[in-house]
Amino acid sequence: MTMTDPERIPVIIGVGQVNDRPEDPDQGLDSLGLMVAALQVAAEDAGVPLADIDSLAIVDQISFHSLGKLPEPLAAAIGASPAINYQSAAPHGDTPVRLLNEAANRIGAGEVRLAAIVGAEALRTAAGRAAKAASGEDKSYNAIRKVATRREPNYAQLHGLAAPVDVYPLYENATRAAWGQSLTEAQAESAEIWSRFSEVAAANDGAWIRKPATPADILRVDERNRPIAFPYSKLMVANSSVNQGAGFLVASLAEARRRGIAEDRLIYVGMGAAAKEPASILHRDRYDGSVSMETSINRTLELNGMTVADFDCVELYSCFPCVPKMARRTLGWPVDKPATVFGGLTFGGGPIANYMSHAIVSMVEKLRREGRYGFLFANGGFATDNHCIVLGSEPIAAASFPQDFDYQAEAEEERGPVPDLVEDYAGPATIESYTVFYGRDGAPKAGVVAARTPDGKRTLAHVDVTDAAMLAFLTDGTREPVGTEGQVVALDEGFGWRAA
């Protein structure tokens, strides 16, 4: 049913994003301060006082845990008393899109007229303060890995699979093999996509790094672009060392008109779809694709009655190259068109769960200038959470709210059989995927193989990075390691991989 009541049609009326670059980290804004600043910019953009909002939704942050829960402090800081005021349960990359979809649903249900969504991270400031406090001790500060390893290490973590940067290479290497690409071809695709990201960031005032990088720059591995986890180098991974905040205001079309907001400033919200992979990376059906990603993308197209040809611009989440590469294939987005409006998580900036708020802000700004429709694909966790939505400078005929955006059941129907996990296997096996981890000096420090036993079970094995022949086999691209046979052998500590 097409929505025709302007009281029930959601539109974005104001957007704001901020960067904070203090010379002294003690003078920098924390996450709360960045949220306040971003919302103030959004309010000015809309010409609406923040005191008027009746809903406030906050993206969870990790850089300043000492702040605790933020709904009440943030509302007080902006002088608002919203009836609905909440923070997401966790900092996942799909959160801003989900919060937008929830706001659209509440407007469609007639529950709210004016909603604010905001998030921020000040990891650069947090790291700077930690370094000053360390006074010559270990000054390294990795909040992402710290969050990922709070609990007793599990089987995956014991093999080095702890933080997202450790896990996404499993998808990268598996998809390359499944698509029949050589290592050179796959890396060239990543470099082309990332170079276009850098060009978009260079032209975006809200981006963190505003210096274009050529595909050759992306591919060149040196001290400034050190290897991280094969085949990713620093310029291919999310840059979380940022202080960034972004927020936006969503209103009913009727409320926007009552407030006199010009029609050409309004961006219409389309329908969304979400689905997840199993939380455990070892209990997934495959690493060469994601049925939850495919379901969320395809369902969003169907819900809005659109095809890829309808979109003038897209934002395909870009924490690591495998994600937009998988997404663009499902969507049908060509490699020679930018897959971002903000600049990607390397160059635009990677403020943990709040990246898509910046993407929404930039999408609104772009659609106000040019084009009709934009597609947003968000991804979070360890290639776990997916949520897509459409925005338009014109009404989206098929959109109707409230809507149920949860398509988990459909994704589960499409999921293939999940292999049993065996943690104490020794014997013949086939490489399902793999990666090699590098230290800050660029030298390999560890590696892991995800392997399948002859009866189809899944197991993990350590890679001996002192074995030069093994290292070359996994990383030089001469032969595709995925699908090759070898042996899992028992070691003094755990199990190791040996080539056949």
DSSP state of 347: I
Q: Are residues 394 and 471 in the same domain?
A: no
Task: Give the CATH number, domain containing residue 270.
Answer: 3.40.47.10
Domain boundary among 414, 435, 454: 414
Query: 344, 197 in Cβ contact below 8 A?
Result: yes
Range scoring the smallest mean pLDDT among 134-138, 169-173, 453-457: 134-138
What is the distance between the alpha carbons of residues 494 and 458, in angstroms, rounded to a whole number?
Answer: 15
Express each pLDDT in 475-484 by its tens digit.
Answer: 999 999 999 9
Residue 151: pLDDT band (50, 70, 90) is low
Q: Is residue 218 one of the residues assigned to a domain?
A: no
Of residues 225, 172, 195, 165, the one with CA closest to residue 475 = 172
Whether 252 is covered by a domain: the verdict is yes
Q: Is residue 168 part of a domain?
A: no
Pair 259, 297 in one domain: yes
Structure letter (DSSP) for residue 420: P
326: domain range?
6-124+240-414
Please report the sign of the dihedral spanned by the C-alpha atoms of residue 214, residue 340, residue 56, residue 14: positive
Residue 58 covered by a domain: yes
Q: What is the pLDDT of residues 239-286, one digit of tens each?
A: 999 999 999 999 999 999 999 999 999 999 999 999 999 999 999 999
Kindly state whether residues 387 and 283 are assigned to the same domain. yes
Give domain status of residue 135, yes or no: no
Do residue 354 and residue 381 come from a single domain?
yes
Regarding whether 432 and 396 lie in a shared domain, the answer is no
Q: What is the pLDDT of residues 310-360, one digit of tens each?
A: 999 999 999 999 999 999 999 999 999 999 999 999 999 999 999 999 999
pLDDT of 139 over the 70 cut: no
> Based on the domain organization, do 100 and 12 belong to the same domain?
yes
What is the CATH classification number for the domain harbouring 477?
A: 2.40.50.840
Q: Of 385, 414, 443, which closes a domain?
A: 414
Number of domains in the chain: 2
Digit-coded pLDDT (tens) for 110-125: 999 999 999 999 999 9
Residue 79 shares a structural domain with residue 106: yes
CA-to-CA distance for 32 and 333, rounded, in angstroms?
36
Assess contact for 411 and 286: CB atoms under 8 A: no
- Same-domain pairing of 387 and 450: no
409 and 432 co-located in one domain: no
Look at residue 156 and tell me if it is in a domain.
no
Q: Of 390, 414, 438, which one is at a domain's C-terminal end?
A: 414
For the chain, the C-alpha Rg in angstroms (whole number) is: 23
Amino acid in the structure at residue 216: A
Report the greatest alpha carbon distance in the chain: 72
Region 89-109: mean pLDDT is 97
Evaluate whether residue 96 is within a structural domain: yes
Query: Are residue 10 and residue 77 in the same domain, yes or no?
Result: yes
Q: What is residue 421's predicted lDDT score, i.e. its pLDDT?
A: 98
Burial class (CB in 10 A: 0-12, 13-18, 19+), 126: buried
Can you give the pLDDT at residue 1? 47
Burial letters 262-282, b for 16+ CB under 10 A, else e? eeebbbbbbbbbbbbbeeebb
Do 107 and 249 fall into the same domain? yes
Q: Are residues 259 and 117 in the same domain?
A: yes
Chain mean pLDDT for the chain: 95
Residue 171 inside a domain? The answer is no
pTM of the model: 0.96
